[in-house]
Amino acid sequence: RLTWGTVLFREWIGRFISATIVIGYIIVAFLPKKQGLHDLFTDTTVIHTES
């Protein structure tokens, strides 16, 4: 279950990484769950569901 603190930290770290570390996008291609660095730092995963 996500808390507002986790969501805000994930967004902040995600924006920081995308602005400074381009290789972060390449790492996603090689991780099994396709997690970004910000997901690894916050221990989160995006789950896509069909409507």
Is residue 49 within 8 Å of 15, Cβ to Cβ? Answer: no
Residue with tokens 């569901």: 49
- Comparing CA positions, the residue from 30, 50, 28 lying closest to residue 39 is 28
pLDDT tier for residue 4 given thresholds of 50, 70 and 90: very high
Task: Please report, rounded to a whole number, the percentage of residues in the chain having pLDDT higher than 70.
Answer: 98
How confident is the prediction for the chain on average, in pLDDT?
82
Query: In angstroms, what CA-CA distances link 7 with 12, 23, 26, 46?
Result: 9, 23, 23, 12
